[in-house]
Amino acid sequence: MPGYEELVALYQFVRSWWIVAVMILLVVIGVRAFLPGQKAAMDSASRIPLRDDDA
């Protein structure tokens, strides 16, 4: 089991770097949303026909 000093060091590390991890996660989500396959899937899903031409 880690000692008190190790826990304090871990807490200080997390406290100083959590915002960097969140920013990296947001960038990864943004990049994945605009990859060609994802963008094509989103575009086709957003096209909702307003009328039925077969009727």
pLDDT tens digits for range 17-51: 999 999 999 999 888 887 766 666 666 666 766 66
Asked whether the predicted pLDDT for residue 54 surpasses 70, the reply is no
Overall average pLDDT of the 5-20 stretch: 92
Distance (Å, rounded) from C-alpha 49 to C-alpha 21? 41
- Give the pLDDT confidence score for residue 35 in this predicted structure: 75
Phi-psi region of 2 (alpha: psi -120 to 50; beta: other; left: phi over 0): beta
- Give the pLDDT confidence score for residue 32 in this predicted structure: 83
- Give the pLDDT confidence score for residue 23 in this predicted structure: 96
- Give the pLDDT confidence score for residue 15 in this predicted structure: 92
